[in-house]
Structure 1
């Protein structure tokens, strides 16, 4: 555990660490995160220069507790609301009222509370039970006689019977995942009340042999009517079990570091995907895959075939009720409320519009976070032969709740053919 030294940084900030503040194991952990683009670590004469990127959260090292706060787009008091919206999971109570800076845990404490509340609800409703196989030896036949074990171990004696039984127990993977996540949450929170509640509820859940075993079980979990009520708890458990690098929706692969890190660009992509899908659904719109026959493919170059894939490809109704058209949408976690759109992004969106929208009206959309208020501007790209297309740049107010942006997105989106 760290010795109590806490270091706070914002996104894209840097700090100088003394040589003795990082152990060799810490350096290996940070190098692994550097390889995934989460931060950078450079050795300097005075020690180490640590620079953050767009990954926020908490990282528990051997001697320090590193807290990276969201400074750019989504304020700390709203981060849990946007995270819960992206995951489609219920947020913990008081999430919108809790500020990031009220404690050293940052949003890790709120994620732990979200898991805690879901687990408490499961305990109140009764944990799911299923048949678990057991092998035992006893004087009475109960279940099925294990003939092979009886013959090879007892040599025909019947004073003790090798039997196989199936008993309904809570010691199943749905519950083991949560028991493991609850114990992982205890290492991240320093609040005594939350720690006490986590310790109390953890006793009701069995634990997996290892964190990796719980993660493998979580990855292969299929939800049916029997375990559908576990989905929200498993969502928060996944964040906690991934530790120093959240996987699945929000980042790449887990590392050995204790912590809870969140990749903000991936979070923003998930938010935009849900916002645009929900905004167009009342008018018959829906998201489609931008791969296979619907993909933009580059062939004939050196190396393998490459593709262009927008973050969201919307299928929208046209003027004729029987016709539909595509609208590509790209999520950009950039300061496009302060800076002009980069030339590379303009080129990228023009490629999308040429590949997916009608030649007479090429359209594409950029959605970026904009603290303070919504904003809408249109980039008009032209050449010697006329218009090349329009790019609508939508800024979403991240100070508001994400649900409040849906109606504005619906009115601001360009509807092809209208």
Structure 2
């Protein structure tokens, strides 16, 4: 992995590659990612032109190791903190934070380190064991004798016996998932010491021959007191094994590639959703599900009717079970700390405010990332007959820990619906 050509670029940046840098298999992988709008690939007279979108991370191709760095939203030394906050996972990193700008290692090394730390904790505590049924050929009876197999396969010979045993073993899906992820992580990291530690830990875990099988099991799992301590390790394992991108934060896009890519808009949506749910709870507000309120619906156009909703709707409870007041909140991964809100977003949020808010005084909230201090401003929208609504533009400082940003969001939330 160390003889790969390393190419580093930032979000929305571009780089030129020679034709020999990409194999036909690499081109197929990049085309698949292009179809999912993770990046752009264009053929030129000298080779290829690769353009990054709002997806960051590491992509290991046959001859190229591509590193796409966060450009502005979340600093390299804070990215892991905000990622763990969005996932609701603990941050197990025992090492100093790495910076994208100064070190050769990036997101893959950080996530691999987090996975390694959780796996080493599980090894210290003892891996989960379950009773596993085995069929074996042994020189003596151990467990239960399989009479049918003994008669039909050994024809009365007693030098070896067909037996069925039930032993408590570590070969469970919880451990197979982690063993598979540890082996996958070795191919992505750059640090030799980290690679050795991952290899050593992987020897202690069973692994699956097909990673899709353990991921399907993971999607169906429910955590109980028996496997709750595995949850954090499973989060990092899912990140590494999914590898192709993030939609609702760590759902499979169906893209197969050796790497670890994060869609920053999806990450930001997850951060904003959790942060404002936490902040609103202390003010008496709660998140409102799609089944409780109708979305903004368009009918009468060509084709079927369409419905669209903001990233989050907060409701203030009234005397009856229905919310007395609704506040739509939308996450925007845009530089609204340096430029005005685009007309398309103004129209969208104004529609949300009138669709969800009270007719007398509709409000909506835009939340965007900002470097160097929090910010808040209010857009007053009016028409020929007077005020139409208010849009509160909130900038969260991503250079501070997320819990500090959450405390600030809690302090300004009452002003957004006053």
Name the TM tier (shorter chain).
over 0.9
Pairwise CA distance, 1:72:
2.2
The 8 Å contact of residues 279 and 406 in structure 2, kept in 1 or not, is answered as: yes
Within-5 A mapping of 1:140-219: 140-154=140-154, 160-219=160-219
SS at the partner of 1:294? coil
SS at the partner of 2:235? helix
Segment of structure 1 superposing worse, 276-285 or 316-325:
316-325
TM-score by length of 2: 0.93
The 8 Å contact of residues 247 and 266 in structure 2, kept in 1 or not, is answered as: no
Q: Show structure 2 runs of 5+ residues with no match.
A: none
Partner of residue 278, structure 2: 278
Is residue 129 of structure 1 aligned with residue 129 of structure 2?
yes
TM-score by length of 1: 0.93
Within-5 A mapping of 1:9-408: 9-93=9-93, 97-154=97-154, 160-246=160-246, 249-250=249-250, 252-291=252-291, 293-317=293-317, 324-408=324-408
Cα separation, partners in 2 of 1:102 and 1:210, compared to 1, 3 Å: farther
Taking the aligned partners of 1:20 and 1:322, their CA distance within structure 2 comes to 62
Cα separation, partners in 2 of 1:319 and 1:13, compared to 1, 3 Å: farther
1:87-140 deviation per Cα after TM superposition (whole angstroms, max 9, x unaligned): 111224357742123432212111111001101110111100011111123354
Segment of structure 1 superposing worse, 209-218 or 146-155:
146-155
SS at the partner of 1:123? helix
Segment of structure 1 superposing worse, 1-10 or 29-38:
1-10
Cα separation, partners in 2 of 1:4 and 1:148, compared to 1, 3 Å: same
Taking the aligned partners of 1:222 and 1:319, their CA distance within structure 2 comes to 35
1:261-317 deviation per Cα after TM superposition (whole angstroms, max 9, x unaligned): 110000000000011011011122221212464333333332233211110111224
The 8 Å contact of residues 246 and 267 in structure 2, kept in 1 or not, is answered as: no
The 8 Å contact of residues 32 and 255 in structure 1, kept in 2 or not, is answered as: yes
Cα RMSD of the aligned pairs, angstroms, is 2.3
Pairwise CA distance, 1:249:
1.5
Segment of structure 1 superposing worse, 338-347 or 108-117:
338-347
Cα separation, partners in 2 of 1:300 and 1:131, compared to 1, 3 Å: farther
Cα separation, partners in 2 of 1:170 and 1:316, compared to 1, 3 Å: same
SS at the partner of 1:100? coil
Pairwise CA distance, 1:170:
0.4
The 8 Å contact of residues 295 and 308 in structure 1, kept in 2 or not, is answered as: yes
The 8 Å contact of residues 77 and 98 in structure 1, kept in 2 or not, is answered as: yes
Taking the aligned partners of 1:267 and 1:12, their CA distance within structure 2 comes to 17
Taking the aligned partners of 1:128 and 1:239, their CA distance within structure 2 comes to 22
1:39-60 deviation per Cα after TM superposition (whole angstroms, max 9, x unaligned): 0000011110110000001111
SS at the partner of 1:283? coil
Cα separation, partners in 2 of 1:248 and 1:233, compared to 1, 3 Å: farther
Taking the aligned partners of 2:2 and 2:60, their CA distance within structure 1 comes to 7
The 8 Å contact of residues 36 and 252 in structure 1, kept in 2 or not, is answered as: no
SS at the partner of 1:367? strand
Pairwise CA distance, 1:349:
1.1
Cα separation, partners in 2 of 1:160 and 1:292, compared to 1, 3 Å: farther
Segment of structure 1 superposing worse, 108-117 or 312-321:
312-321
Pairwise CA distance, 1:174:
0.2
